[in-house]
Structure 1
Amino acid sequence: MVKMLIIADDITGALDTGIQFAKRGIRTQVFTEGKLDESDVKADTEVIVVDSESRPMSANESYQVVKNIADWAHKKGVGIIFKKTDSALRGNIGSELQAVADAVKDFPIYFLPGHPEIGRITKGGVHYISGDLLENSVFGKDPFEPVTRSYIPDIIRDQSDIPVICKSAEEPIADKSNSRSEIIVCDTETVKNIDDILDKLVKADGLQLIAGCAVLGERLAEKIPFDYGEVSSYEKTDGLYVACGSLNKITLRQLEYAEQNDSFIRKKLTMKQKFSAGYYETPEGKKFLEEMIDLCRTNQKVIVDSFDTEENIADFMADKGKELDNLRTLIPQAHGRIVKALAEEPIDLTFLLTGGDTLMGYLKLVGCRHIEPVCEIEPGLVVCKLLWEGHCQQIISKSGGFGTEDILCRIALKIIE
């Protein structure tokens, strides 16, 4: 029986959270489409994770998609709805929390936004990244989703008129009989703060609507009784291929470190390879794919990335009349074509896909709507099994802004035979 529904706005968020349950042997299914068919839900599944793919949508579009998913769960009698949010508060925070509140009326949403273990905390309703105000961090300068506010009630009110209040970790939980639709932003400076709030909610029978990032999923997996089954692990392979569609500066430092301090071969996609529609059907594009196949046959550690100077991107957009939203779509498509070509070859590779758009673009390309989380190879890096047209791939999902400088080197050390 399904005990919990988790709604994430991108695929990396869905996997980061779902793995917290799967790695404990809790039967978990991750769906890559917002329209759920009950026949796809297995009888022993206790946690369903749905990727709404709503982060790049407008506020109105994201509201409707999330509300439809939450409505489905509420009508099916799912006891807990967990709205997974980005730990840097990117995306449609206000509209999606409003959608959950409207699906399950007259009940508060407890919002625990922080991820203290990686320096992302909330204090007095203000969100900080490694000691800096959110708006002054790298996420305030994100090329696609800059977050320009740090006070969480202001972020929510940009898209919603639902009442928002802030609570310290020490404040009591409201009596369930006095419930109303509101968002309660809880201070989360430590993991203990999260545990204490969850303990209060469980004791007060108030754990019905909750929101936060992947660490909240980890703590929920410890607080709620589940049936625990067999725990899986990753497999070692001959090589590691990194498809980096993220443009985050944290990721760039990781790539540079891997190239300079380990035996990673790094290739940067050209403007044509990234942005020209139909390129991979041309003789030049097919030749490039053959070169990539040969490269992976002769090198154990390969990185292909999409980074370029802002001047080059601006010049290309001006010359070709392209818009920023188009670039966001074309980069994952380019990476997807390369990964698909490699997957069709008899090369024993693990694929690490950086950035939610990159992974989702690939899943759409190969027609996969269900992915199986296996384990975490590092905190926040999820190993998954992907099946399509007879191909079985081991894929690692990594959020663009996640991980330390040497993360790729550590993954290679673990994964390569």
Structure 2
Amino acid sequence: MIAVIADDLTGAAELAGIGLSYGLTVELVIGQYAMSVNTHSGADLLVIATDARSVAKSEAVQEMTEVSAALRTMNPRLIFKKVDSVLRGHVVAETRAQMNVLGLEKALIVPANPALGRILIDGHYYVQGELIHETHFSKDPEFPITESNVMKRLSVNNEPISVLPPAATSLLQGIVIGEVGTQGDLRAWAARINKQTLLGGGAGFFTAILEATYTPKCPAYPMDIVGLCKLYVCGSAFGHSAELVKKASMTGDFVCYMPNALMHVDDQESAELANWVAHIVSSFQRHEQVIIAIEPDSVVDSCKLATRLRALTGKVVKQVLDQVSVDELIIEGGSTAAAVLREIGITRLAVAQELAAGVVRSKALEKIECRPAKCCPDNLHITVKPGSYRWPVVLWSF
């Protein structure tokens, strides 16, 4: 068995989709701490989706410690730490916690993915040819990136960290961040893996590791989405996706933005939430596809506010699903997806299709007892997409 611990849901789904494309049986579990680990799983690939990127550092460390300890008892062939491809989150603290649990003195983290235009060269991270701090990642509400130099971003007192090229003769003690400029660099790092080193990184590195052992077994991007009634939950208020939502709102009345009043805590929250739900349900009476989102011009500049808005989004989705029989729930953003699925009670997904790089469609395995049976169809599918990834044409036709 291969085990993956991801710090957010979209990252977990992305690696689950990659495993599926290599013919592996995949189990994707959404949860926190050791209770989320199915120690009796018979899957080839067991993926644990934590929400560590969206909690305080101390809680993230506790999550990674407990999940790693539970997985260690299963003695998997490989434990892979999935981190954000641009190193947002509590990467160093979580990695150290996992190293301590697994009794390892070295960790190799290879985050970059040239296939997405994300490379790490000479210590600096680039996205589509631009230094990362000059891109929309600088406006991330929880982990704004203001420095392209990875060492400066990650340096922690007394924690040995180094950034090395794939041609380095040996790995240093502590945490090594592997530079990547090409697909060949990913393969070079994959050829150097061993059981004495904790491995982690992005989808590109994980693919290179599987590629060394397995052969793709199925078409990369099946396009047969059969559900008619689709609810889009767009959790990103910045970048290309936000612009697409804005353009869609100009072409029809199927975009339902969060009311501005919900941006602030006041006595009218319940009423405003009910109005938002009513607006969405009304839109479904006229359209088979409806988008809910936060307006691009709204300012979401704090972790506390971002967390609150995700929780509100989860509540509104649950209330909409109480009234509308949705076939396809399509969620953008790992933290948003985790908040929504937590609210509606889904903890296990059967991975069905990889629609594009990082965009994965799954079948909900649990019924949601708090919803009427007629609104919880057996064919409910959930697709998740990282906020910084592009929408595939098969999903976005507005």
Does TM-score exceed 0.5, indicating one fold? yes
Answer yes or no: is 1:305 the counterpart of 2:303. Answer: no
Asked whether the 8 Å contact 1:80–1:208 carries over to 2, the reply is no
Asked whether the 8 Å contact 1:81–1:208 carries over to 2, the reply is no
Answer yes or no: is 1:171 the counterpart of 2:168. Answer: yes
Q: Given the superposition, is the C-alpha separation of residues 272 and 152 from structure 1 closer, same or farther in structure 2, using an over 3 Å criterion? A: same
How many pairs were matched up?
A: 388
Q: Which has the higher helix share?
A: 1
Q: CA deviation at 1:285?
A: 4.5
Amino acid at match of 1:192: G
State the distance in 2 between where 1:149 and 1:288 align: 38
Corresponding position of 1:355: 333
Backbone CA RMSD of aligned residues: 3.2
Answer yes or no: is 1:294 the counterpart of 2:295. Answer: no
Q: CA deviation at 1:409?
A: 5.2
- Match among 364, 367, 378 for residue 388 of structure 1: 367
Q: Given the superposition, is the C-alpha separation of residues 121 and 349 from structure 1 closer, same or farther in structure 2, using an over 3 Å criterion? A: same
Corresponding position of 2:174: 182
TM value normalised by structure 2: 0.85
Greater mean deviation of Cα atoms: 220-229 or 291-300: 220-229
State the distance in 1 between where 2:34 and 2:291 align: 35
Q: CA deviation at 1:310?
A: 4.9
State the distance in 2 between where 1:11 and 1:276 align: 27
Asked whether the 8 Å contact 1:163–1:182 carries over to 2, the reply is yes
Q: CA deviation at 1:210?
A: 0.9
Corresponding position of 2:139: 141
State the distance in 2 between where 1:338 and 1:380 align: 25
- Match among 400, 410, 413 for residue 387 of structure 2: 400
State the distance in 2 between where 1:288 and 1:60 align: 35
SS at 1:145 equivalent:
coil
Residue by residue over 1:235-291, the C-alpha shift from the partner in whole angstroms, topping out at 9 and shown as x without a partner, is 31223321122222232122134445x767322221234555786854x64454344
- Match among 83, 86, 111 for residue 85 of structure 1: 83
Q: Given the superposition, is the C-alpha separation of residues 395 and 279 from structure 1 closer, same or farther in structure 2, using an over 3 Å criterion? A: farther
Asked whether the 8 Å contact 1:239–1:348 carries over to 2, the reply is yes
State the distance in 1 between where 2:334 and 2:125 align: 22
Corresponding position of 2:208: 219
Asked whether the 8 Å contact 2:359–2:383 carries over to 1, the reply is yes
Aligned sequence identity (%): 18
Structure 1 runs (4+) greater than 6 angstroms displaced = 226-232, 277-280
- Match among 12, 16, 36 for residue 18 of structure 1: 16
State the distance in 1 between where 2:282 and 2:47 align: 37
State the distance in 1 between where 2:104 and 2:311 align: 43
Corresponding position of 2:305: 327
Q: Given the superposition, is the C-alpha separation of residues 39 and 103 from structure 1 closer, same or farther in structure 2, using an over 3 Å criterion? A: closer
Q: Given the superposition, is the C-alpha separation of residues 253 and 371 from structure 1 closer, same or farther in structure 2, using an over 3 Å criterion? A: same
State the distance in 2 between where 1:303 and 1:408 align: 16
Amino acid at match of 1:169: P
Corresponding position of 1:321: none
Corresponding position of 1:245: 235
Corresponding position of 1:268: 257
SS at 2:126 equivalent:
strand
Amino acid at match of 1:79: R
Q: CA deviation at 1:232?
A: 11
Corresponding position of 2:184: 192
State the distance in 1 between where 2:243 and 2:296 align: 14
Amino acid at match of 2:134: N
- Match among 387, 391, 395 for residue 411 of structure 1: 395
Asked whether the 8 Å contact 2:17–2:354 carries over to 1, the reply is yes
State the distance in 1 between where 2:248 and 2:392 align: 6
State the distance in 1 between where 2:352 and 2:339 align: 21
Which segments of 5 or more consecutive residues in structure 2 lack a partner in the other structure? Answer: none
SS at 1:388 equivalent:
coil
SS at 1:55 equivalent:
helix
Q: CA deviation at 1:365?
A: 1.0
Q: Given the superposition, is the C-alpha separation of residues 245 and 123 from structure 1 closer, same or farther in structure 2, using an over 3 Å criterion? A: same
Corresponding position of 1:129: 127
State the distance in 2 between where 1:183 and 1:341 align: 45
State the distance in 1 between where 2:279 and 2:344 align: 21
State the distance in 2 between where 1:210 and 1:99 align: 13
SS at 1:411 equivalent:
coil
